[in-house]
A and B are shown apart, each in its own frame.
Chain A
Amino acid sequence: MISSVSFLTTKPHLVVIGNGMVGHHFVEQMIAQAGHEAFQITVFGEEPYLAYDRVHLSEYFTGKGAADLAMTDGTLYDEHGVRYFTNSLVTEIDREAKTLILQNGESLSYDKLVLATGSYPFVPPIPGHKRDNTFVYRTLDDLDAIRACAKQVTRGTVVGGGLLGLEAANALKNLGLETSVVEFAPRLMPVQLDEKGGAVLKEMIEGLGVKVYTDTATKEIIDGESAFHRMNFADGSHLETDLILFSAGIRPQDALAHQSGLTVGERGGISVNNHCQTSDDDIYAIGECALWNNRIFGLVAPGYAMAKSAAGHLLGDVGVTFTGADMSTKLKLLGCDVGSVGDAHAQSQGCKVFVYQDEISQSYRKMVVSEDGKKLLGAVLVGDNSYYDTLLQYYLNAIDLPEQAQALILPTMGDAPVGLGVDALPATASICSCHNVSKQDINDAVCHGALSVGDVKGITKAGTGCGGCAALLKKVVDNELLALGVEVSTDICEHFAYTRQDLYNLVKVGGIKTFAELLNQHGKGHGCEICKPAVGSILASVWNDYVLKKEHISLQDTNDRFLANMQKDGTYSIVPRIPGGEITPDRLIVLGEVAKEYGLYTKVTGGQRIDLFGATLSQLPEIWEKLIAAGFETGQAYGKSLRTVKSCVGSTWCRYGVNDSMKMAIDLENRYKGLRSPHKIKFAVSGCTRECAEAQSKDIGVIATEGGWNLYVCGNGGMKPRHGDLFAKDLDDETLVKYIDRVLMFYTKTADRLQRTSVWMDGLEGGLDYLKEVVIDDKLGLCAELEASMQHVVDTFQCEWKTTLQDPEALKTFRQFVNYEGSDNNVVFVEERSQMRPATEAEKQQLIAKVG
């Protein structure tokens, strides 16, 4: 029975069949160009998952989950009205009626159609190829099946020694199998490598314990004697193995094109023009299913370029065309570097080659140059890819080779600079081919304020495809920064030629107690809004003095200066501490009464506290007087310091709780509440693995287990979310606190100014393992000092508001005006949802006009 799916829309209907990397990129391109406004877009994917990163598929075996590999969770589609259906195979196209039929019998009409059906693995029709325990390597489901089988057996064999075959062999090896590779061609990676390169690679891979059979044809697969299968080879020899993985190349998935009568190539592939249109003007094909100029492009970057040109054509921009793509690649296969650029096989007419081979350290490099020796036409690298970026740029940009061109593949001797400085690259040089980002694009991004690789990635997407350009990208960004006169300096500012970590050590070791002393001994000039708050924070971390002391007050940044959070109209918000989010009804009533008395806008914060907005400068001390009388303390929401310890209710109430997360949260909050740090710090404690407190998104996350507490460190929500790293398992209370003391103090001691723990961790050489060595194994012999420093902060805690109320000098600074008792008449509120909020400019003018 055929039912019909119809959508109520007047927009033309664009259907995308296939939701792999290229199909997804196409949708992204459409959305980026507002194509979702011109078309109703519908996407069908055959797999149960939305698009995921197939380039890094193998990482599924090394700890990444489906969610990590996902390219979208559907949010992007939902937000732009793109409908999507997974598990939905389209089986038929009726081009006359312009309708599609799905496997489940449903049909729907289309106005424009994009085929992004990708490819399927080629399985050679060897007798026995359909036996049990034979697999292909393409989808997450394939990997699940391989993993399940690998648990039961000991030996695995990959049929196919190309790029994907070796990738698959690495995966089998990582799954603990005795691994072999069988290749029909005389060498490994026959497409990318020449004979010698293939031989060197074979030797390296065999050195890693993987058996390699080249020039070997499999005649049949039958029952084995000592293993599940026996592979009988054409030369009469055989190999026994338990698991066989076919990775003998890909074939374009062009079944729909055959069925509907679109033009296809002799050996498959849907023929397309430069706009990726098929023989039917309303149907496009992109990615590995498309055949352009009789070629299939089995890499992601050309697929993306096709997606872009198809999207452009659909939206009336015929200027973006697909005219072929560079197929150069660099990879790490089984830990061995392999690179291939342009004409690797030296097939260009009259070309000449340079070859360098080192049989001791196992590396091989070849350059193919034009007859006149001026241009690079191709290259092969095995063993060391550090030469790749330079060679690729010479090739892609047709840059004239230097006189001693062979130096480009010779090992570096002494200090002689080798290779092409990035400043020699033309502005048009392509740095990231996945996202087609040129050197000029990066320059533009830097000029518009992107001052780090991370910023540039965010703006240009460079380096976020296959990631192969990461090193080059960093060089280009640094070079652009230098060219713009932005010194890539680690000095904190013009007043101190030191990093924040240096300053911390100078303060601590030198016993320096004031900014003036530090400036006098180690700095120059008079300080600025960069170094003053940074030093203010360091002094507070080390000595924990009252921050509004006469000698410290001018160091404090906006919020610290008045111990409250300045809002856009110059008024402040007030956040008393509510440890763990636990509050008595009486205290809750006090907050309500104070808010009512002063007409404050009241909101519950993300950290389980209550924020009171709209207090003027001169109201702050009065309000705090009342709060302190009711037993509240400052919440330090204004400081770069511990904010909150979020908690679930824990085992005392919850049916599932395994430990008292509430008590732990309150204890931790009270312990660390006074700590000034390079940036704000948030904690959370969950009472069981259901993780209701979301501890893994916090700087310090604690999760109760049957055996104690698991400690997670350096997570972050916010702008760049990062899951915390599991630092230690099943800790008792005492060890947990000890480790947190050490981690926090080590962070406070070594981080850059305004660096959150997540970024600190990402930049820490040696990463999580190093931090464990420092904190757990005391590798640096620092632990006693770190603990003592923390204990000092804990012992000297003071409520800054309590101190302020007792200090007439400090209170003086909270006057609105030094010579006038009135208030700031620019602070105007209007009512919204039964509370007040700052008036907008327009509202202010209206109100003033009325009064006038």
Chain B
Amino acid sequence: MTMSWKLICKQEDLIEGAGVAAMVNGEQVAIFYVPESDNKVFAIGNWDPVGKANVLSRGLVAHLQDQWVVASPLYKQHFVLASGECLEEDIKVPHWQAKLEGNEVFIAAN
């Protein structure tokens, strides 16, 4: 399987310790910049399946039980940034591999 990296934006477009939204192939992606983490950047779907709105990029980033998560700004469920899994409910949002190279941000597009 080949994986192609897609350039999304520059590092200066990101917000330290928080998320921004990007449009990738017609899909909304939430990109988080967490300088303290090993991976630095994460990408999950922007759609909140509980609140039913495109808002996850606007949630608060938290570190719980050794995982980086975002708390939905609507009803506060936590989604793991690395996997898209929800800590409270048996649901999952899409996630993509992401990387910061130089000052460019990429996600793995299919």
Contacts and interface: CB of A to CB of B under 8 A. Distances in A.
Q: Do A and B come from one complex?
A: yes
A481 to B, nearest CB: 19
A603 interface: no
B51 A824 contact: no
Contacts of B108: none
A755 interface: no
The majority secondary structure among interface residues of chain A is loop
A817 interface: yes
B74 interface: yes
Interface string B11-33: 00111111011111000100100
Nearest to A495: B63
A812 B74 contact: no
Contacts of B100: none
A7 interface: no
B9 A819 contact: yes
A532 B53 contact: no
Given A569-B53, A817-B22, A826-B54, A527 B74 contact: no
Interface residues of A, number: 34
B73 interface: yes
The majority secondary structure among interface residues of chain B is strand
A818 B71 contact: no
Nearest to A551: B16
Given A553-B15, A813-B15, A818 B28 contact: no
A554 B16 contact: yes
A529 interface: yes
Interface stretch (A284-292, A385-393, A557-565): A557-565
A526 B63 contact: yes
Contacts of A557: 60, 73
Given A557-B60, A570-B55, A841-B52, A819 B8 contact: yes
B22 A554 contact: no
A566 B58 contact: yes
A557 B62 CA distance: 12
Nearest to B70: A529
A35 interface: no
A639 to B, nearest CB: 15
Nearest to A530: B62
B109 interface: no
Contacts of B8: 818-819
Contacts, number: 96
B91 interface: no
A822 B23 contact: yes
Interface string A818-840: 11101010100000000000000
A570 B64 contact: no
B89 interface: no
A533 to B, nearest CB: 7
A350 to B, nearest CB: 58
A824 B28 contact: yes
Chain B CB within 10 Å, residue with most, of A550, A561, A819, A820: A819
Contact of B31 (A562, A818, A841): A818
Interface in A512-538: 525-529, 532-533
Contacts of A568: 51, 53, 74
Nearest to B52: A841
B76 interface: yes
Given A550-B16, A554-B15, A819-B23, A494 B9 contact: no
A554 B64 contact: no
Contact of A570 (B17, B54, B60): B54
Contacts of A558: 58-60, 73-74
28 contacts: A525-B63, A526-B68, A529-B62, A529-B71, A529-B76, A558-B59, A558-B74, A566-B74, A568-B51, A568-B53, A569-B53, A570-B53, A570-B55, A813-B18, A813-B20, A815-B20, A817-B20, A817-B23, A817-B28, A818-B9, A818-B13, A818-B31, A819-B9, A819-B13, A820-B22, A822-B23, A824-B28, A826-B54
Please name the 8 residue pairs, one residue from A and one from B, whose CB atoms are nearest each other, closest first.
A554-B17, A528-B62, A526-B63, A558-B73, A820-B23, A570-B53, A529-B71, A529-B60
